[in-house]
Structure 1
Amino acid sequence: MRKTFSWWTAGLMALFVGMGACMPPEDETDNPGLSVPGINQEIYRLMQDFYFWEDELPVVTDFGRINDNDAFLRSLRFEPLDRWSYLTTREAFEAAFTGQASGVHGFGFQLQEQPSGDFKMFIAFVFANGPAGQDGWQRGWEVTQINGRPIMSYRTANGFDFQLGPNVIGSTNSFTFRLPDGTETTRTIRRDAFQTNSVLHQEAFELAGKKVGYWVYHSFRATAGETPTRSLEVEDSFQFFNQEQVQELIIDLRYNGGGSVAVTEQILNFLVPQAADNQVMYTVQHNQPQQNRNRTVNFRRRGNLQLQRVIFLTSRSSASASELLINCLEPYMDVVLIGDNTFGKPVGSFTLSGFSRPLQQRGLELVPITFATTNATGVADYFDGLPADFFVADDPSRNWGDRQEARFQAAYS
């Protein structure tokens, strides 16, 4: 059995809802609360208030024992289930939430083990506005050398170290490719800052008398500045599928690690059948102190799609919002999963800096697990992932929409 290993940028593996909070005014002069122990204490206070597993938190009285805020947060996590609560900067969170990349080339790749035990590297996806996309790179190109060295020369005892250097805008690397037609080319590109795209590919085609759509969706990212939170890319895609009057839709989430709940709802309202309009989409459950935030969200159908079924292409990297999308549809329509079981993240987060003056002053963002979701039939605890109906290996040697790409072929055959 061949093994594949994947690397890509901007994979959130998270599920986010937007929250608002009002902070009382206070003295912002020299404040001991901004020290490492002070921030630790603030993290602990917020976790007691909002953490989904707040009843599993350890008792902490010495906030200076761990002299690192990230390490302190990790010490609080309910490890049997929580692999995700984290601390970041507000700037980094906002950039990730809206898909702002910086200091990267703008592509993801996969290493695929060969029968000989060697590995081949393939471009898995490319962001259109990044340096790689602007240079014309495509999924399916085989990388044979990086900076003049063969791929296998970067192998170490612990995997691969490609020594691409720091994520600094303007730095360059060279890549030699073997293209699908057998020719070779070497490209040197720089790292840059750019807006990533969530829609990697879309098309519609006729199959056995039906109109089928194919949509490769990389991340549930909101468009910056839009109120309410939504994605203009999603709007454009479903305008296309409505115009094409597709009857079935193949949604490729194999590299989609999650993102915005609001964008997930936006997509669900385009997909759901007419009979499910105003029915339960999902319910949200919080911890005991936040029971007043529990709520039920109903479908508000949009568009004119009359889908007979939706086929999802999934992998162990399909997480969080990807799983919420699938789980919410299953009670109402024919849903098929092709590829592999999903990641297993039926919980999500909202940011907590809005409830903390010290975090705001330090420019920090606390993003712990704060809620769980349940679909209309009560399916909730899929921590081992949603099961695939058909197991089909990824084939990064072929581009999106290639009729010979294994998962895509399984979906339409």
Structure 2
Amino acid sequence: MNRSFTSVALRVVLISTFCSSVFVSCRKDSKSGTDTTGGTGTTTTAVTDEDSLKYLMYHTMQVSYVDGGRSTTTSLPTYYWYSQVPTLDPVNSTYATADALLEVMKTYSKGTGTTALDRYSFLDRTGSLSSALQDGVSEVNKKISATGSLGMEVSYASDGNKTYLYILYADKNSPAGLQGLTRGDEITAINGDTAISYDGSTGAHTTKVVNAIYNSSSVTLKVTKGYTKAVNTYTVNAGTYNINPVLFDTLYTIGGQKTGYFVFYTFTSTINTKGAYTNTKTILDNLFGKFKSEGVTNLIVDLRYNGGGSVATAEYLDSAIAPASAASKAMYYYLYNDKLTANMNEAGLEASVNYPSNTGGLALSNVFFITSKNTASASELTLNNLKPYMSVKLVGDSTYGKPVGFITFTINKYDSTHTEKYLADLYAINFATQNANHVGGYYSGIAPDQQAYDYINVPWGNSNDNNLEYIFNYISNGSFARSAARIAAASTLNLRASIPTSIASPRFNGMVDYRLGKRLKN
């Protein structure tokens, strides 16, 4: 499959570097930011890095990726909603930063209504996201002195009377995971401080928790373990680690039917920056090999905390889950802006991606996805692509709503000494997707077939998980309905439901296909 749309990223990396060299070495008109020397580079008046970034970002999105946006004969803007953005002066002092300019541009991304659709585009000024998604190495938090992170996420929960702080999950390979911290563990003190009850998303207690977990290089936690209720103290130091996207997996026999279950928290790529297979692919190969050898006829994919990532991994999962009847048929379609669509051959674009000919390794009666407001982008792409070919059921909450994707444009410049300098990676929406039935556009999210609570004091895979309980009922009885006895029994379990908006996830939310940069059509 030639997915060559984002292949223009490689060309932009190279051309934008040259363009920035010309732009920075030439005199800039103080009002318009245009080159007043005809591109000869004969003057040496420098502009700031931020002006260079604003200029290159705007022209890549709104004018053309060809010649870094300086071509007078080619019009190939890359922003999906470019035609709705008015002509702006990117280096005008009105925009203090490139981020501020991007926020203004996003407001023009209107659909049929008056609300802007683009709540996604952003600049990554560290470059760590690309490494994390492609090579599977944890991101570096530039807010702290140490590299890496603790490798876990937390959230508040409520039993209807009181709030509690819980670990949502921890990567098995992370500093937190290596100490055995996991979902269902309650945090009762942070650095000896017990004043950590929920006081609103911007409250003093909540802010203290966010800074300790996400913005510090070391933290000491007092924890009540979910399984044993044992109380232990852990000191966790931030570090880098090889991401393991599978948090938990197991097999069930339900009503005589073999059922596989796994929790997948990020779409790290199956192919790295050198084109080699990654640890993520090895992990998934082993997992699906086990499911196949066990003869599973139902599969549960838990994406409740998965904000997306690599399109390559979404395609892997779809190919592993879909029935043999989908082989060689359309998996999904790309939608681009009108200029790119009209020049698909020249830009190296493809209109669709097909399932491979060897699709159908599992013979499933149903696939169930556990979803939440945090289920986004590549996660939504995965489940949407399967709907035309098999029984797909969603349990949990509506998904985030992101039927669009990124290519990456690495923006560099040369300074006055001709030294190359990295400025940022641009993630601006470049395409939308639709499944084989041309269904897409789910900006408000995809609704579940069965609403369920996320009780975060229940460990992974436990039958008291409200989502699993509904799914088990469906596999056994063909209906999500729970018995009165089961409902009564659940009321005695002191279940604590997640407060989804209590602490925002710091992780990336989106879908990117990095491979396309290697398939540029010249």
| Range class of TM-score, shorter chain | 0.7 to 0.9
Residues 314-325 of structure 1 aligned to structure 2 (within 5 Å): 314-325=371-382
**2:165 paired with 1:125:** no
Match for 2:137: what amino acid? Answer: Q
Q: CA deviation at 1:378?
A: 1.3
CA deviation digits over 1:207-234, x for unaligned, max 9? Answer: 2121110011111111545626764222
**2:222 paired with 1:175:** yes
**2:137 paired with 1:72:** no
Q: CA deviation at 1:276?
A: 1.2
| Equivalence for 2:192 | 148
Q: CA deviation at 1:17?
A: 5.9
The one of 305, 324, 328 equivalent to 1:255 is: 305
**2:51 paired with 1:41:** no
Q: Is the alpha carbon distance of 1:395 and 1:247 closer, same or farther for their aligned partners in structure 2, counting shifts above 3 Å? A: same
Whole-Å separation in 2 of the counterparts to 1:166 and 1:228? 31
Q: CA deviation at 1:131?
A: 1.4
Q: Is the alpha carbon distance of 1:229 and 1:191 closer, same or farther for their aligned partners in structure 2, counting shifts above 3 Å? A: same
Whole-Å separation in 2 of the counterparts to 1:406 and 1:145? 28
Q: Give yes or no for contact 2:184–2:225 (8 Å, CA) kept in 1.
A: no
Q: Structure 1, unaligned stretches of length 5 or more? A: 1-15
| Equivalence for 1:342 | 399
The one of 194, 200, 205 equivalent to 2:252 is: 205
Q: Give yes or no for contact 1:39–1:358 (8 Å, CA) kept in 2.
A: no
| Equivalence for 1:4 | none
Whole-Å separation in 1 of the counterparts to 2:167 and 2:191? 16
Q: TM-score normalized by structure 1?
A: 0.88
Whole-Å separation in 2 of the counterparts to 1:155 and 1:53? 39
**2:102 paired with 1:113:** no
CA deviation digits over 1:28-59, x for unaligned, max 9? Answer: 59634663222211111111110000111131
Whole-Å separation in 1 of the counterparts to 2:397 and 2:213? 33
Q: CA deviation at 1:139?
A: 1.1
Whole-Å separation in 2 of the counterparts to 1:52 and 1:229? 31
| Equivalence for 2:488 | none
Whole-Å separation in 2 of the counterparts to 1:154 and 1:395? 17
Match for 1:203: what amino acid? Answer: T
The one of 456, 470, 490 equivalent to 1:396 is: 456
**2:92 paired with 1:95:** no
Match for 1:341: what amino acid? Answer: S
Q: What SS is found at the alignment partner of 1:52?
A: coil
Match for 1:40: what amino acid? Answer: K
| Equivalence for 2:353 | 297
| Equivalence for 1:12 | none
Q: What SS is found at the alignment partner of 2:229?
A: coil
Provide the aligned length of Structure 1 versus Structure 2.
395
Q: Give yes or no for contact 1:52–1:369 (8 Å, CA) kept in 2.
A: yes
Q: Structure 2, unaligned stretches of length 5 or more? A: 26-45, 63-76, 110-115, 141-147, 474-522
Q: Is the alpha carbon distance of 1:18 and 1:340 closer, same or farther for their aligned partners in structure 2, counting shifts above 3 Å? A: farther
| Equivalence for 1:286 | 336
Q: Give yes or no for contact 2:149–2:214 (8 Å, CA) kept in 1.
A: no
Q: Is the alpha carbon distance of 1:19 and 1:46 closer, same or farther for their aligned partners in structure 2, counting shifts above 3 Å? A: closer
More strand by share: 1
Q: Which moved more, 1:156-165 or 1:380-389?
A: 156-165
| Equivalence for 1:13 | none
Q: TM-score normalized by structure 2?
A: 0.70
Q: Give yes or no for contact 1:323–1:346 (8 Å, CA) kept in 2.
A: yes
Q: Is the alpha carbon distance of 1:358 and 1:336 closer, same or farther for their aligned partners in structure 2, counting shifts above 3 Å? A: farther
| Equivalence for 1:236 | 286
Report sequence identity in percent.
30
Q: What SS is found at the alignment partner of 2:100?
A: helix
Q: CA deviation at 1:373?
A: 0.2
Q: What SS is found at the alignment partner of 2:421?
A: helix
Q: Is the alpha carbon distance of 1:361 and 1:229 closer, same or farther for their aligned partners in structure 2, counting shifts above 3 Å? A: farther
Q: What SS is found at the alignment partner of 2:173?
A: coil
Q: CA deviation at 1:178?
A: 4.8
Match for 2:220: what amino acid? Answer: N
Residues 160-171 of structure 1 aligned to structure 2 (within 5 Å): 160-161=206-207, 162=209, 163-164=211-212, 167=215, 169=217, 171=218
Whole-Å separation in 1 of the counterparts to 2:126 and 2:350? 26
Q: What SS is found at the alignment partner of 1:386?
A: coil
Q: What SS is found at the alignment partner of 1:352?
A: strand
Q: CA deviation at 1:142?
A: 1.3
Q: Which moved more, 1:45-54 or 1:90-99?
A: 90-99
Q: What SS is found at the alignment partner of 1:362?
A: strand
Q: Give yes or no for contact 1:285–1:294 (8 Å, CA) kept in 2.
A: no
Q: Give yes or no for contact 1:269–1:302 (8 Å, CA) kept in 2.
A: yes
Q: Give yes or no for contact 2:323–2:360 (8 Å, CA) kept in 1.
A: no
Q: Give yes or no for contact 1:144–1:177 (8 Å, CA) kept in 2.
A: yes
